[in-house]
A = this chain, B = another copy of it.
Amino acid sequence: MADTKRVRLTVAYDGTNYHGWQIQDNGITIESELNRCLSDLLHEDIQVIGASRTDSGVHALGNIAVFDTTARMPAEKVSYALNQRLPEDIRIQRSEEVASDWHPRYVTSRKTYEYRIYRGEFPMPVKRLYALFSYRTFDVAKMQQAAKYLVGEHDFKSFCQVGAQVDSTVRTLYSVEVEEQGSDLVIRVCGNGFLYNMVRIIAGTLMEVGQGKRAPEEMPSILDARNRSAAGPTAPAHGLMLMKYEFPEEL
């Protein structure tokens, strides 16, 4: 019996043409494409374990997945070989061997997401897949003020889709930034974990603050409510990008 090793992949993708990360019966997903191409490449049945099960339309510069294999191919070479087989909207950015018990969802990590809004009178075609279009004006200073209330350890139940099954809704956000980049407005959130739809609900709520529908000072009471209906709407998926994972224990 050959030795088994665990390989970690840093996976970038354009989520436009996929039914999200997680395998499902009706539709191609990032996970199903990785399994198909890895099994083909390594001549064994490979099933990856992903870190973030992003929704349909959500993009990633660096999601994380691991898989076990007995194949002799060095872990560092998997990226090159796998990219030859994957569709062009999925590209491995890095592959490396990790400990056999390293699990992407049970290890301490820092995740960074960006939610992008393109502001203009009319939609801009080259932005349409990667930013939410809005013809409204936003009070950025008020959004920044509201964002500060979210930093730290909080119960984010108000920012979690109803029905999501989770043991605890307490998470820690290290930073929530609202930044203008020309016509784009970028909401950048970094934390130790995110509930289902959490970044999109934060984005939807901060956008309401920016439009004057809510005051920044309402944020503590939204958190205290521990009720999804207290927060703003879930912003559309295509404006969301998983930027990176960091693993502080590896530093």
Q: Which residues of A contact B (CB under 8 A)?
A: 12-14, 59, 61, 79, 83, 88-93, 120-126, 128, 130, 241
**Cβ–Cβ contact B83 & A125, under 8 A:** no
Residue of B with least CB distance to A90: B125
**Cβ–Cβ contact B122 & A92, under 8 A:** yes
Residue of B with least CB distance to A10: B122
Task: Write out the residue numbers on chain B whose beta carbons fall within 8 Å of the beta carbon of A120.
Answer: 93
A124 to B90, CA, bound (A): 8
Task: Write out the residue numbers on chain B whose beta carbons fall within 8 Å of the beta carbon of A124.
Answer: 12, 61, 91, 93
Task: Write out the residue numbers on chain B whose beta carbons fall within 8 Å of the beta carbon of A128.
Answer: 14, 88-89
Residue of B with least CB distance to A79: B122
A198 to B12, CA, bound (A): 33
Q: Nearest Cβ in chain B — how far from A60, in angstroms?
A: 9
The 10 closest A-B pairs by CB, nearest first: A14-B125, A89-B125, A14-B126, A91-B122, A91-B123, A13-B125, A59-B126, A91-B125, A12-B125, A93-B122
Residue of B with least CB distance to A133: B91
Task: Write out the residue numbers on chain B whose beta carbons fall within 8 Å of the beta carbon of A89.
Answer: 125, 128
**Cβ–Cβ contact A93 & B79, under 8 A:** no
A123, A126, A130 — most chain B CB neighbours (10 Å) = A126
